[in-house]
Amino acid sequence: MSSALASFRPAEHENPVQWLRRVFRTFRRTRPYYGGLLAMIAGVPIMYFPYAKLSLGGMTVAMATTAGAGSLIIGVLLIVLGLTAWFQPTVRVFAGVATTLLTLVSIPVSNLAGFGLALLPGLIGGGLMASWAPLPEPKAAEAAVAASVATEAPAPEALASEIPASEAAVAETAVVAGSVATEPAAAEAPTAKLPAQAASNEQAVAVDPKEAR
């Protein structure tokens, strides 16, 4: 059994830290956690750089572009898709595909996807969200194993029908063995008749001189 299917510790033996860890572990294992996290991380640089202002000495550098509104929309959508994958795992495939497409669109629209900082997190997060699948429940897994074993095992009726057939096979082998045992006796019978025939021949020879006289 994997650690994801292991039973948690009872609540009466938990302190607040252990309870928090257990709740977070359950939350993380029942949804595409890392995919949504990477999607939200990818949305931050896409939103930030078009509106950022850097001060170099006494000079202020603004990187705002005419596509600032598009960058803002893409960044907000990526964060929303990440949260959607967290709290609505059933739409994870749609969220993953949309995250991948928005990340690719942000390359020409938003300063090369936030100067490349959002490219890898967005693509990897979209792939993780689209490919994530929930773990089977322990009861469902046990029921599936029991059903497979029941289908593979022979039915009692089949076993009952096989027993007379096996008895008939044993009886047939016994008959064959008896016939083989009787064959040597039949072979010995002609050898037993040979002395009697020889004796009768001698008597016939002994009787012939008297008849001649």
Tell me: the pLDDT tens digits for 193-204? 445 555 555 554
CB 43 within 8 A of CB 118: yes
More confident residue, 170 or 73: 73
The answer to whether the pTM exceeds 0.85 is no
Report phi then psi at 59, rounded to 5. -110, 135
Higher-confidence position of 14 and 12: 14
Write out pLDDT tens, residues 22-81: 899 999 999 999 999 999 999 999 888 877 776 667 676 666 655 577 888 899 999 999
- Interval 89-148: pLDDT, tens: 999 999 999 999 999 998 888 878 888 899 999 999 999 999 999 877 766 557 666 777
CA distance 93 to 178: 74
Token pair of 58 as six digits: 């006494």
